[in-house]
Each structure stands twice: as structure tokens, then as C-alpha cells.
Amino acid sequence: MGLLLSKLYTLRRELENVIISGLGLFSFYVLIMRFASGSWRYTLDQFIQLWPWMALLIVGFSVQVGLYTRLRAVQKSSNNTVTKASAATSGFAMVACCAHHIVDVLPTIGLSAASLFLAQYQTEIFVLAVAFNFGGVVFVYRQLKQVQRLNHPYTIE
């Protein structure tokens, strides 16, 4: 019974982290856009225009956070020390995921030329951000599987 409750608690924590991270990334987007544009209407219009990209980034980041939460729980349940590179990858994916917001902020800080350059390549930046996000998910998933194999070497998957 104790093991079941422990697993349910871990699952609940993972789901909470997934939801909080998704809402956090969405809130970050809204705040950046609102600050950069000065308009709620423009923020909404941009989100509607970019929603497929934003959905991919938010879901990908949330999945990555969920997997990382599971990885940490598995690591804590064992005494294995696995490379913490997944944290760096998560951070890098987050930076890549939000890189397209630089386009929105640069004119505000007086870098219009850089803003025009980045705006021209916004789609490519989105593709790169989604690719890094996906790579982060794959990396954390592989780390999780490696730790699970180390903890349960005779388990058939």
C-alpha cells in the first residue's frame, strides 16, 4: 500500500509540474508580448497567428519538465548518480524555445536592425526552437530509461 501511495504522489507531482510549467511558459509569452507591444489586442493577435508554434513549444517544454520530474524521483529512490546534463539540456531548450521573443523586445531596447533581421527568420527560429525542445525531450527520456535500467537491470521492457 505504501508503494502505491508513493507512486500516486510522484505521479501527482509530475502532473502538477507539467501544468505549472506549461502555464508558466504561456504567462512568460503573454508578459513579454504585452510589454513589447503595449497592447493586449496585439498580444492576442500574435498568439492566434503563432498558436501552432506556441502549442508545440509549450507542450514540448511541459513534457520535458514531466520527464525530468520523473527522472529526479527515480534518482532519489536509488543511490545512483547519473549525469545532471538533463538539467542543462532543459535550460538550453527553454532558452531556444523563447529565443523568438527576442524579436519582440529588441526594438524596445533600441536594436531595430537586429529586430528586423530576426523577424525575417522567425519561422526558422521557431523550427530550431521546436527541434531543440524535441531533442531535450528525447535526451531526458533516454536518461530516464538509463536510470530505470540501472535500478532494475532484469526488467524486460
Q: Cα dist. 86→30, 40, 67, 141, 144 in Å? A: 27, 36, 10, 9, 10
Per-residue pLDDT of 70-106, as tens digits, reads 888 877 765 444 334 444 444 454 444 455 555 555 5
Q: What is the pTM assigned to this prediction?
A: 0.68
Determine the pLDDT at residue 102: 56
pLDDT, greater one: 112 or 43 = 43
Neighbour-count burial of 129, counting CB atoms closer than 10 A to its CB (0-12 exposed, 13-18 middle, 19+ buried)? buried
Here the cell at position 127 is 523550427
Cell numbers 509569452 correspond to what residue? 29
